[in-house]
Structure 1
Amino acid sequence: MGKPRSISQPIIEALYCEALILADEVRSAFDLVPSANETNDLARIALSAEGLRTTTRMMHLLAWLLNQRAYHAGELSEFQLRRNGFLPPDRPSDPANLAYLEPETCSLIRDTEAMHLRVSRLDNAWRDRFAMRDSAVRGFYEKLGREMGA
């Protein structure tokens, strides 16, 4: 079996569906209609800042996935995808802001960060053409073998 050249289309489609559902949850969670019981300005600022950060993260994920889908549909060349279809680095949430948010909202933010991390690993592997890196364990075993004279 040869080395993969791209991320398989079923993986992209599954991630795309997951991202759409997550994006809808994010939209609902950060719907900034002020409620009558929100009087803490710092909590509103924290919600606004983390809402912007989280929705931006989701839009980056969706844009990356849409580029991958376009590539699989033949609408983008590999050159175009490699040149313009990168996933921007994540900007993690501010723990000080998270202290003001509901636990459910913090959990949703963590879900978006985890998804970004997963997709980022895929993007990096694809950009490296799925080259295998020597693991630290393998290096340790090789060093141990040299030391033991094997």
Structure 2
Amino acid sequence: MTLTNNINPRIVEGLYCEALVLSDEVRAAFDLSGRIEETGTNEDAARIALSCEALRTTTRMMHAVAWLLNHRAYFMGELSEFQLRRYGRLAPDFPAADPERLALVGQDIRELITATEHFYARLLRIDRSWREPQPGNDSAIDRLRARLNQAVA
């Protein structure tokens, strides 16, 4: 298990705690039992917008928490680096909130959705930088090729 300069167990634990708090806020905000009455029975567009954004936002947070749980498992020795790199990816093209639907929901919901998008973007930046090859850290295949080139030359 190698530690890189851009991700370590402390960073993952801090992000995990932040993700749990944010996920709980999302769950509470999108508890549809009271929200439907707020939009009124005749406002179908607002109810549909709220439902769609609730699904998109909770899915975004589930992906974020899953990514963090994979990294926690890696740092606890439960996953190999190969498993983490192969299966512990974030979707780079996860859709952002629909501006037309956002206009139909309350300001507090818009702010929460924006907060989840920013959190997910932070995780994406960390994931990308972690996956980039570090200078001087050649893969086993690269080292083998170098040895073969030296032997042939």
Give me the TM-score of the superposition, normalised by structure 1.
Answer: 0.81
Q: Any unmatched runs of 5+ in structure 2?
A: 136-153
Q: Any unmatched runs of 5+ in structure 1?
A: 132-150
Mapped to 2, the partners of 1:84 and 1:70 lie a distance apart of 12
Alignment of 1:1-150 (within 5 A): 4=4, 7-33=7-33, 34-35=36-37, 38-39=40-41, 40-89=43-92, 90-130=94-134
Mapped to 2, the partners of 1:21 and 1:115 lie a distance apart of 12
Q: Which stretches of structure 1, 4 residues or longer, exceed 4 Å deviation after superposition?
A: none
Q: Percent identity?
A: 54
- What does residue 137 of structure 1 align with? none
Contact map agreement 1:5 1:129 (CA 8 A) in 2: no
Per-residue displacement from partner, 1:35-86 (whole Å, max 9, x unpaired)? 2662210000000000000000000000000000000000000000000000
Letter of the structure 2 residue corresponding to residue 14 of structure 1: G
Distance 1:36 1:106, change over 3 A: closer
Secondary structure of the corresponding residue to residue 88 of structure 1: coil
Secondary structure of the corresponding residue to residue 35 of structure 1: helix
Mapped to 2, the partners of 1:130 and 1:103 lie a distance apart of 42
Mapped to 1, the partners of 2:17 and 2:78 lie a distance apart of 20
Mapped to 2, the partners of 1:105 and 1:23 lie a distance apart of 13
Letter of the structure 2 residue corresponding to residue 15 of structure 1: L
